[in-house]
Amino acid sequence: MARYSGIGGKSPRITGPLMRFVRISLALVFAALAAASSSAGNKPDRRSYTAAVTPGAKALIEDRLVALDARLAGDDQRTRFILDLNRKVELAAFTLIDPYRVIVDLPEVAFDLPAAAGRKGQGLVSAYRYGLFAPGRARIVLDATGPVAIDKAFVLEGLEDQPARLVVDLVKTDREAFIKNAAIEKRTESIASPAPSARKTDRETPAASDGLPVIVIDPGHGGLDSGAIAPSGEEEKAIALAVALRLREKLEHTGRFRVVLTRSDDTFVPLAERVRVARSNQAALMISIHADSISRNEGEARGASIYTVSNKASDKEAARLAEKENKADLIAGIDLSGQNDDVVGILYDLTHRETKNFSGQFARTLAAEIKSAALLNRDTLRSAGFIVLKAPDVPSVLLELGFLSNPEDVKMLASEAWRDQVADAMTGAVQSFFATRVAAGGNR
């Protein structure tokens, strides 16, 4: 048991995490039993229980990698991050600079952690995030308070009533040493990191030749990037995805459009990848869906806003929001230090004035349609330098549905009926926009 001791030498009980894993396991067992009962058409007797559980539920219980609990220990000289798991796995750990971050890559993990896990730091870690980073791959990002070095990173086998345990020990260092270590770790990261699975996503679907306009719907954030979080716990990434899925359903139901999502589950997608999806699918329109949050005058900021891209922000709030949204890649632990200037340039260069004009036209159409379903912010139409809107050949808008910092907006954003109304209004806006383009002789 000594090998499980924290920095202070304590060996805390972890019956809570183990109980959560037991609940997950039992839920899978009962699901298998229910399925077996349904397929048989009657209630299984006691002799059928083993047969019902063994092939399906048992495999799920044993194969699914689950994170049960996480915690920090230590001080501003040495800090330990601990993650309890249901079984041992391989990990890759490395550091990134500006800001100082420690990255831990794992195979795909189901994070069964408390909702507030990671929001408060300790010692050398100010906060941490976790979630799916790519298909088949999970990531944990530890925000460091300053330059740190990874002293140890390992995973212990489970022992008796203790789970498997991932441990990352950090020690304080200086910037020069941090940069040197980060360079060494970067060279080995691609070798040590778990390889993504071959699972395809709908954003990789080849473009169809049916002649229908392609609409790319971009639910903001995802995976270990939650976006804004309401005081009551609602997350921007979940709200954006729920509205996006509903919008896809309604657009496809019209039979007039082909719809591609940049993400259809709780997975992180880099900003440049979102733009690439729109361009590679030759999208006729891209709609990025978000929800805002603001710390100042929380009770006053309300309602939806629609943004188009501009090199100069229309106002301070638009500039603030663009700066926040453009940090998504940093939040997810992506190394941007070696990004090619030519790549950055093509994202920022609006080479087609027509694209900008069409973006503005759709923004106005969307504002006119959505006001019947959603409260509009007093500054409805805005512009700023959002990276995700900078495909030079795809008309694009970013819709902020409301403010998660406002209790009244949160009630609406969490309402299934409200989401349905908003998706209806957005569908109407898309139809009106393309009807106008066809009448004007547009080819998409």
In this prediction, residues 21-32 reach a mean pLDDT of 50
Please give the mean pLDDT across all residues of the chain.
81
Statement to judge: residues 207 and 181 lie in one domain: no
Which residues share a beta bridge with 70? 83
> In this structure, are 170 and 251 located in the same domain?
no
Task: Report which DSSP code applies to 207.
Answer: P
Instruction: Tell which residue, 388, 402, 229, 379, has the closest CA to residue 318.
Output: 379
Average pLDDT estimate for 422-433: 97
What's the whole-number mean pLDDT along residues 141-154?
Answer: 96
Same structural domain, 230 and 158: no
Asked whether residue 155 falls in the same domain as residue 257, the answer is: no
**Averaged over 8-25, what is the pLDDT?**
50
Q: 180 pLDDT band (50/70/90 cuts)?
A: confident
Q: Which of 192, 224, 239 is the last residue of a domain?
A: 192
Q: Within this chain, do residues 363 and 432 fall inside the same structural domain, yes or no?
A: yes
Say if 336 falls within a structural domain: yes
pLDDT, residue 195, reads 45
Distance of CA 117 to the CA centre of its chain: 16
Model pLDDT for residues 318-359, shown as the tens digit of each residue: 999 999 898 898 888 887 765 544 444 444 454 457 788 999
More confident residue, 63 or 383: 383
Does 165 map to a domain? yes
Beta bridge partners of 71: 82
In a domain, 181, yes or no: yes
Domain assignment of residue 197, yes or no: no
Environment class of 90 (CB within 10 Å of its CB; exposed 0-12, middle 13-18, buried 19+): exposed
Looking at the domain assignment, is residue 444 inside a domain? no
Whether 113 is covered by a domain: the verdict is yes
Q: Please identify, among 135, 163, 192, the residue that sits at the C-terminal boundary of a domain.
A: 192
Residues comprising the chain, all counted: 444
Q: Which pLDDT score, from 0 to 100, does residue 134 have?
A: 86
Q: Looking at the structure, do residues 374 and 403 belong to the same domain, yes or no? A: yes
Q: What is the mean pLDDT of residues 30-48?
A: 40
CB-hemisphere CA count at 13 Å for 127? 9
By residue range, what is the domain housing residue 250? 202-439
| Residue spans of alpha helices (H) in 123-265 | 175-192, 236-254
Whether residue 106 sits in one domain with residue 34? yes
Per the structure, the count of domains in the chain is 2
SS3 223: coil
- Same-domain pairing of 171 and 214: no
pLDDT-derived band at 297, boundaries 50, 70, 90: low
Residues whose CB falls within 8 Å of the CB of residue 153, separated by 6 or more in sequence, listed in order: 91, 93, 104, 167, 168, 169
Out of 136, 161, 192, pick the residue that ends a domain: 192
214 and 172 in a single domain? The answer is: no
What's the pLDDT at 13?
A: 45
Residues 296 and 173 in one domain: no
DSSP secondary structure string for all residues of 343-389? HHHHHH----HHHHHHHHHHHHHHHHHHTTTSPEEEEEEEEE--GGG
Q: What is the pLDDT of residues 97-140, one digit of tens each?
A: 989 999 999 999 999 999 889 999 999 999 999 999 988 899 99
Do residues 152 and 258 share a domain? no
Cβ-in-10-Å burial (0-12, 13-18, 19+) of 157 comes to: exposed
Helices within 41-171 (DSSP H only): 49-53, 57-63
Asked if 112 and 213 sit in the same domain, the reply is no
* CATH for 63: 2.60.40.3500
Q: Return the percentage of the chain with pLDDT > 70, whole number.
A: 74
Could you tell me if residue 288 is inside a domain? yes
**Residue 303 maps to which CATH number?**
3.40.630.40
What is the pLDDT at residue 38? 40
Does residue 391 lie in a domain region? yes
